[in-house]
Amino acid sequence: MRRPKITVKPQQGRILLNVSDAVARRTSIRAFRPEAPSAAVVREILEAAARAPSGGNLQPWRVYALAGAPLAELKAKAAANPMGEPPEYDVYPPNLWDPFRTRRFQNGEDLYATIGIPREDKPARLRQLARNGELFGAPVGLFFCLDRKLGPPQWSDLGMYMQTVMLLATERGLDTCAQEYWARYPQTLAEVLNLPADHMAFSGMALGWRDETAPINTLRASRDPFETWGELRGFE
């Protein structure tokens, strides 16, 4: 079912959306305008997101927001090392199986179709992949870290925090793209963020306003119908 288009005017002030509208509007944006939201707005989003749930109220997240010169430094270091570093974790399991393999493949094909890059044009696809290291031109980069000794439940808590950040950003008329791509740069992130040795970077996130003219931002990733993954039992 096609959702109605939700129009939100980009601005610094609060945009009033209900939760359903924010969920419907949020999508991964891969081309941003250069102007940056204020530090006050970014801090307000990050602080408000701390109401996200966490088991035992551990609040395992540690967050760094970069803009200006610190962000430029990180982008330059990533550009100088396009192959990345040994990652601290696998973003996807090895030998991904169906239906997950097919979903990932189709999402990639749909993405590259928006910018006219065929599958056989490997150099162009690699150049687009490298855009991750530029945060797709976003003026703010958020980096989410946690103590290495924490386990999968706390990783899930951090994911809930990140989702809350994304929805609050949407409420503000801002856009985001969560980027586990940064798992490829654990040493670089540790250096630039001055990360404590007992902490590791989990994910990055681009934050800013979408470039409405960029074809890549027309991508709306598909979702399987409820019957594929959900069941209702015991209801009248």
What digits encode the pLDDT tens for the residues 110-122?
Answer: 999 999 999 999 9
Given pLDDT bands bounded at 50, 70 and 90, which one contains residue 16?
Answer: low
Beta bridge partners of 178: 205
- Residue 76 CA to residue 82 CA, distance in Å, equals 10
What digits encode the pLDDT tens for the residues 200-209?
Answer: 999 999 999 9
Per the structure, the count of domains in the chain is 1
Residue 162: inside a domain = yes
Q: Which residue has the higher pLDDT, 18 or 34?
A: 34
What digits encode the pLDDT tens for the residues 176-199?
Answer: 999 999 999 999 999 999 999 999
Tokens of 90: 């696998």
Given pLDDT bands bounded at 50, 70 and 90, which one contains residue 14?
Answer: low
Q: What is the pLDDT of residue 3?
A: 44
What average pLDDT does the segment 136-154 reach? Answer: 97
Residue 156: inside a domain = yes
Residue 213: inside a domain = yes
What average pLDDT does the segment 9-37 reach? Answer: 82
pLDDT at 5 over 90: no
pTM higher than 0.85 for the full model? Answer: yes
The parent domain of residue 99 ranges over 23-73+81-221
pLDDT at 13 over 60: no
Q: CA-CA distances (angstroms) from residue 86 to 19, 184, 186?
A: 38, 6, 8
Domain of residue 97, CATH code: 3.40.109.10
Residue 216: inside a domain = yes
Residue 104: inside a domain = yes
User: Closest Cα to residue 67, out of 40, 49, 27, 90?
Assistant: 40
